[in-house]
Amino acid sequence: MTEPITITPLTCEFLEPLALNPLETHRHDHEELWIITHGTPVHSVNFSAETLRSPVIVYVAQGKIHSFVPDEDTRGWLIRYKSDFIPQSRFNFYSGFLDKVQYPLSKDYCSTTLNSLCEIMLKESTGENPDYTVMRHLLSAVMAKLETDSKRGYLDTSASKSPRLETFNSFLRILENNFRRPEGADFYAEKLNMTARNLSLITRVVFGKSATEIIETRKLIEARRLLLNSGMSVSEIGFELGYNEKSYFTRVFRKKTGVTPTEFREKSFALVS
């Protein structure tokens, strides 16, 4: 990707070649934001495919392995941008703790406002000298609108002052600084002056996962990143993430992904090289 940002309307002309010749599983050097307003396309992340139910937001972080197969009714927008184009968004932040970053939109979301923002961005991007400062502000506005319209409460800035959400985000920040350590939910609960049970009650209500599941997912996401982007051995990666034994790391990884770390690395390189 050469431009800092591009926006493409998901029209018949754009999608028909994808439907006839589905986009191969790939990785890329930029972020992608798919705004699916209509249709039921199939999206795959890290070899796990799912049929999407519109309207839905799909965020694909840089380096993720994914593919996209539209159906004849698929419509919406595709925004591609470099990771340094906009300060870390909530989508990017939560991508460290979720295998798939996709959020359903309310059926009565304000499509007129969202489409207007995307139309303005498209007009600016196709001009003779695109103003990327303007496009940065427009992308920030699109993300703010999506966060507000999403059914996922933890994205909504208007709810960011709730004590429960503040505790949840504090947990994620502490986790981000400590997930490489061999610590469980008790460690993080103690940091937050509560019991592990109460912490998990909060994370389940806010995020739909227990604290232990979120810790394991964060380690797993980092493990996949290292398998794809480093020359570290499986043993070295396991040790880096707090697993003292390669066999235990391999068992945990296979339980969560269905393949061993070595199989994941080989399969990924075979598909995206």
Tens of pLDDT, residue by residue over 132-179, are: 999 999 999 888 888 877 777 677 665 556 888 889 999 999 999 999
Among 14-18, 44-48, 204-208, 227-231, the minimum mean pLDDT is found in: 14-18
Q: What is the pTM of this model?
A: 0.81
Least reliable range by pLDDT among 22-31, 87-96, 189-198, 249-258: 22-31
**Topology of domain 163-272, CATH:** Arc Repressor Mutant, subunit A (1.10.10)
Please report the pLDDT score of residue 240 as a whole number: 95
Q: Which residue shows structure tokens 């599983």?
A: 25
pLDDT at 254 over 60: yes
Mean pLDDT value across residues 183-202: 96
- Rounded CA-CA distance 65/81 in Å is 17
CA–CA separation, 231 vs 245, rounded Å? 19
Instruction: Band the pLDDT of 257: cuts 50, 70, 90.
Output: confident
CATH 2.60.120.280 domain range(s) in the chain? 5-152
Nearest one of 171, 185, 170, 177 to 216, comparing CA atoms = 185
Q: Does the pLDDT of residue 23 top 60, yes or no? A: no
What is the pLDDT confidence band of residue 6, given thresholds at 50, 70 and 90?
A: very high
pLDDT reported for residue 92 = 85
Q: pLDDT-based confidence at 201, cuts 50/70/90?
A: very high
> What is residue 20's predicted lDDT score, i.e. its pLDDT?
58
Q: What is the mean pLDDT of the chain?
A: 87
Write out the H or E segment, with its range, that includes residue 56. Answer: strand 56-60
Q: Which residues make up the CATH 1.10.10.60 domain(s) of the chain?
A: 163-272
- Name the most confidently modeled range: 3-17, 130-144, 256-270: 130-144
Is the confidence at residue 261, as pLDDT, over 90?
A: yes
Question: In terms of CATH, what superfamily is 5-152?
Answer: Regulatory protein AraC (2.60.120.280)
| 94: confidence class by pLDDT, cuts 50, 70, 90 | confident
Q: Where are the alpha helices (DSSP H) in the chain?
A: 12-20, 90-94, 111-125, 132-149, 163-178, 185-191, 196-207, 211-229, 234-240, 246-257, 261-272
Mean pLDDT of 112-125: 89
Calculate what percentage of the chain has a pLDDT beyond 70: 91
Residue 22 has pLDDT above 60, yes or no: no
